[in-house]
A and B are shown apart, each in its own frame.
Chain A
Amino acid sequence: DIQMTQSPSSLSASVGDRVTITCRASQSISTFLHWYQQKPGKAPKLLIYAASSLQSGVPSRFSGSGSGTDFTLTISNLQPEDFATYYCQQSYSFPYTFGQGTKLEIK
C-alpha cells in the first residue's frame, strides 16, 4: 500500500496568515493527489484535485502543488471558516489511501 504522511499533524495560525500543509507519498504517485477539508460533524469537501486543480466553488486562496512524492496545500489569507481538518488522498493505485489529517486551529 502507498503510505501518505502529512505534516504537521496540527497547526495553529491566525486569521490573515498563510499556511502550508505537506503530504508525502511512500512512492511516486505522479499528480494523483487530492486535498479535502472536513469540519466537525460534516462530510469532507474536495478542495484540490490532481495536485493543483481547484475544485469549482472553492476560494482561490486555496492552492496545491507538487508531483511525484511531495505535495503541498497552501491557504493564503486564512479566514475564520478555514479552521478545520485537512486530508490528502492518493488515487494512483489501489488501495487508495488518505493521510492522517492536519488539524488547523485558531491561534
Chain B
Amino acid sequence: EVQLVESGGDLVQPGRSLRLSCVVSGFTFDDFAMHWVRQAPGKGLEWVSGITYNSGTRGYAESVKGRFTTSRDNARNSLYLQMNSLRVEDTALYYCVKDIGQWLDGLQEWGQGTLVTVSS
C-alpha cells in the first residue's frame, strides 16, 4: 500500500521559515518524481513544486520561486520543502504527491496533508 506522510506544518509568523517533510512507503521512491501541492482554506488546488526521480529537474510556482526549495533524499524515502520568507498567503494545507512516473507529469497518489498557518 502506498503511503505518504507529511509533517512539519505549524503556525509561524510572517517572514519566518519552515521545513516540511514527507516520508513515503509502499513503492520504490527513487523511481518516481514527486510534488508539493497546496490548498488554502476553502480554495482550489495550487501546484507548488515538483522534482524528478533523480533531482535533475525541479520546478516551482511563480508565487514561491526564490523562497521555497524542494529536495529529496532517496536513501531515506523522503521529500522536503524548505519554505523561507513565509507570507500570510502561504497559509494552506500542503500535500505531498507521488507522480505517475519518473518525469514530472500527473499526480497519482496524495498524502493527507500538513497545515501551514502564517500569521502574526
List the interface of chain A (C-beta within 8 A of B). 1, 32, 34, 36, 38, 43-46, 49-50, 55, 87, 89, 91, 94-101
Contacts and interface: CB of A to CB of B under 8 A. Distances in A.
B73 interface: no
Contact of A45 (B46, B105, B110, B113): B110
Contact of B44 (A43, A46, A98): A98
Interface centre among A38, A43, A87 (most CB of B within 10 A): A43
B44 A101 contact: yes
Contacts of A34: 105-107
B60 A95 contact: yes
Contact of B59 (A32, A96, A98): A96
Interface size class of B (residues with CB under 8 A): 20 to 34
A94 B45 contact: no
Interface of B: 35, 37, 44-47, 50, 59-62, 95, 100, 104-113
Contacts of A99: 44
Nearest to A44: B110
Contacts of A87: 44-45
A97 B60 CA distance: 11
A94 B63 CA distance: 12
Given A44-B45, A96-B59, A100-B44, A91 B106 contact: yes
